[in-house]
């Protein structure tokens, strides 16, 4: 996880915004709407649309022509349209630098490549958003509103990821300076677009009641914690694939409850269709529709030393391994070796509706190499089931969009579950490891930068125990403090629900990032946890820390936080919709 950029971020609010507006005459939103109807959501006084934002002044001073409509929907459309234009302009700027990569250091080129990928996504996201708001002047259906709020939230995340990479990795000062100013200005504009969308198009949420209802059908894969053994249905799929290659499997619907369009086998001994995972991914169809089913890639047991990348065009892809510690994907990139945190990942996925089952992903850079990501996930409606993620600092990068993890093992030391997705981790094993001398462990470092983002980390029914190396050190008297999390960004949000916490968890529970940074704007909460480390009598007394009741906890269940009922059923992965 990148270091916090206090000096630069301190300038990212109104001062940079005024620089952007020096050639324009400022006017207030309120002044444009003195005579509008004060009743109804669509006619709320525009000045109130940013009351919940961290910088309300952004909404009061705008360029001529930015807001000129008669209601919030006109203003929202104009804001999104302006953000769309700026995102395209910034993408062109990044592309112009990459036309002559030999002029810059390798670390700068890597940071620019991150920005290019993220900017391409932002332009596509804004195009989708504008198409939606341009056709509607009323509150959207729940699932559609959640999706648009999700991509607008991801846009802000992408902006800060680009900025973090430039500031911490790029070594060319001119590139940093030339890109940081428009990047920060655009981020302010995009934040306004998000605020207006939430105010105008998002319905008031009505949470489903607490329940123990379960979702997911019998996928046919082995659901138990026996990673060394493949289930009979999975073996049937594998044997069928060996015999018939990538032919359409007419009988597969009799084996599993999910729809499979085609199948490929990866085997290092040459007996499958491919010997590398990336070759199989490249062969998968692009931009497939959800109703076409999953393209299934079965990865036989073995250690695959490759950097797996599933780009935005590879949708509805399912990877099935031979089991945890049998199918292993491994790499060793790190920030210390010149990579950005973003592109240090051994496994990176952006393609929508991705599913992975029975796979281990490792980053073996080690504790001394600082940030070294095993999995980076920016795929909307993505699922990891019965997988293991192994690293030290920054193991699991839940970067953006909506994600779900079930019965996974997660190993790490510093901030090893981090990012700014809307993510639920359910029934997972969390294993803090032995940190370097003088280091503490922090399980989470959530990166929410705006209160209108629908993001956060929800950890439900987890088991938090020391990994073997940490357990041995603790038993021998070594003092290593382990915390539930610390605030990476201003509006960091993390909750622990109904989880087991062993005695390694420090009594204070949570760790500050830098003095009093974010302590009054974060949202950290605990509900009905158990175990010797779950006691709340000596927890931190920050304004943003809460001991919540069932009603508040329901906000962070799979049904309410990631809309599990809308998309998780088709994956076949079991899940709990509400509280236990």
Range 9-14 contact pairs with CB under 8 angstroms and sequence separation of 24 or more: 11/184, 12/184, 12/187, 12/188, 13/54, 13/55, 13/57, 13/58, 13/188, 14/55, 14/57, 14/58
Query: At 415, which helix (H) or strand (E)?
Result: strand 414-419
**What SS3 class is residue 103?**
helix
Is 415 a residue of the active site? yes
Distances (CA, A) of 417 to 250, 370, 390, 395: 40, 14, 11, 6
535-571 in b/e form (b: 16+ CB < 10 A) is eeeebbebebbeebeeeebbebbbbbbbbbbebbebb
Query: Tokens in use for 163?
Result: 């900025």
DSSP letters for 454-512: --EEEEES-EE---HHHHHHHHTT----EEEE--SSTT-EEEEES-EE-TTB-TT----
Q: 208 and 578 in contact (C-beta within 8 Å)?
A: yes
Query: Tokens in use for 536?
Result: 């709340």
Q: 431 and 472 in contact (C-beta within 8 Å)?
A: no
403-439 in b/e form (b: 16+ CB < 10 A) is bbbbbbbbbbbbbbbbbbbbbbbbbbbbbbbbbeeee
d(CA 558, CA 554): 9
For 463, list phi and psi in degrees, rounded to 5.
-120, 115
Pairing of strands 214-215, 575-576: antiparallel
Sheet with 463-464: list strands edge to edge: 302-304, 327-331, 360-363, 388-390, 409-412, 429-432, 463-464, 500-501
CB atoms within 10 A of CB 302: 17
d(CA 433, CA 410): 10
C-alpha Rg value of the chain to the nearest Å? 24
Sheet with 441-446: list strands edge to edge: 308-310, 347-349, 375-377, 396-398, 414-419, 441-446, 482-485
Q: 556 and 562 in contact (C-beta within 8 Å)?
A: no
Q: 383 and 568 in contact (C-beta within 8 Å)?
A: yes
For 317, list phi and psi in degrees, rounded to 5.
-110, 135
Q: Which of 74, 186, 415, 554 is the catalytic position?
A: 415
Positions marked catalytic? 415
């Amino acid at each position: 996880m990148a270091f916090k950029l206090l000096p630069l971020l301190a300038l990212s609010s109104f001062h940079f915004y005024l620089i952007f507006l020096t050639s324009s005459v400022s006017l207030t939103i309120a002044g444009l709407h003195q005579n509008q109807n004060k009743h109804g959501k669509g006619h709320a006084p525009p000045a109130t649309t940013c009351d919940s934002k961290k910088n309300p002044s952004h909404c009061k001073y705008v360029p001529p022509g930015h807001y000129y409509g008669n209601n919030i929907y006109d203003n929202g459309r104009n804001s999104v349209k302006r953000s769309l234009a700026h995102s395209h302009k910034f993408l062109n700027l990044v592309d112009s630098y990459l036309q002559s990569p030999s002029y810059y250091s390798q670390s700068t080129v890597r940071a620019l490549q991150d920005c290019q990928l993220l900017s391409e996504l932002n332009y596509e996201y804004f195009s989708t958003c504008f198409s939606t708001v341009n056709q509607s002047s009323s509150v959207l259906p729940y699932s559609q509103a959640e999706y648009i709020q999700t991509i607008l939230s991801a846009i802000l995340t992408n902006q800060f990821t680009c900025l973090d990479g430039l500031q911490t990795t790029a070594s060319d000062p001119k590139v940093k300076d030339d890109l940081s100013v428009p990047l920060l200005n655009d981020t302010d504009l995009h934040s306004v677009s998000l605020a207006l969308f939430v105010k105008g198009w998002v319905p008031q949420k009505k949470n489903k009641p607490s329940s123990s209802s379960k979702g997911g059908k019998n996928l046919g894969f082995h659901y138990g914690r026996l990673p060394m053994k493949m289930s009979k249905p999975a073996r049937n799929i594998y044997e069928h694939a060996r015999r018939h290659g990538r032919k359409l499997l007419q009988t597969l619907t009799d084996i599993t409850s999910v729809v499979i369009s085609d199948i490929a086998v990866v085997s290092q001994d040459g007996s499958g269709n491919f010997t590398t995972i990336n070759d199989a991914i490249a062969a998968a169809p692009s931009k497939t529709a959800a109703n076409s089913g999953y393209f299934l890639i079965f990865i036989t047991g073995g250690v695959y030393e490759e950097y797996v990348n599933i780009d935005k065009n590879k949708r509805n892809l399912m990877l099935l391994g031979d089991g945890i510690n049998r199918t292993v994907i491994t790499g060793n990139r790190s920030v210390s070796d010149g990579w950005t945190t973003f592109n240090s990942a051994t496994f990176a996925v952006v393609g929508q509706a991705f599913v992975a089952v029975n796979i281990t992903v490792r980053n073996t850079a080690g504790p001394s190499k600082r940030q070294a990501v095993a999995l980076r996930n920016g795929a909307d409606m993505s699922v990891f089931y019965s997988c293991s993620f192994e690293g030290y600092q920054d193991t699991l990068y839940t970067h953006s969009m909506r994600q779900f993890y079930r019965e996974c093992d997660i190993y790490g030391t510093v901030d090893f579950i981090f990012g700014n997705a809307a993510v639920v981790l359910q029934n997972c094993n969390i294993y803090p490891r032995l940190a370097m001398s003088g280091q503490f462990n922090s399980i989470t470092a959530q990166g929410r930068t705006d209160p209108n983002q629908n993001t956060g980390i929800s950890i439900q029914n987890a088991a938090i125990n020391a990994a073997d190396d940490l357990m041995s050190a603790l038993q021998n008297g070594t003092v290593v403090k382990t915390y539930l999390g610390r605030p990476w960004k201003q509006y960091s949000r993390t909750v622990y629900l109904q989880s087991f916490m062993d005695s390694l968890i420090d009594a204070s529970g949570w760790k500050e990032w830098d003095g009093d940074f974010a302590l009054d704007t974060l949202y950290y909460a605990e509900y009905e946890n158990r175990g010797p480390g779950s006691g709340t009598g000596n927890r931190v007394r920050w304004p943003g820390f809460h001991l919540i009741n069932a009603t508040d906890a329901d906000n962070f269940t799979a049904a309410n936080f990631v809309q599990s009922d809308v998309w998780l059923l088709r994956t076949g992965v079991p899940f709990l919709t509400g509280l236990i």
